[in-house]
Amino acid sequence: MQSEPDESYNLETRKSFPDLVIEVVITSGGVDKLAVYQRLAVTEVWFWEDGVLAIFQWRGQHYEKINRSELLPDLSLDLFCRYVLYYDQYDAVTEFLAAISSEP
Task: Encode pLDDT of 58-95 as tens digits.
Answer: 998 899 999 999 999 998 898 888 888 788 888 988 98
Average pLDDT of the residues of the chain = 85
Is 50 or 56 the better-scoring residue by pLDDT? 56
pTM, rounded to two decimals = 0.81
* Sheet with 52-58: strands ordered across: 7-9, 20-24, 44-49, 52-58, 63-66
What CA–CA distance (Å, rounded) separates 31 from 63?
10
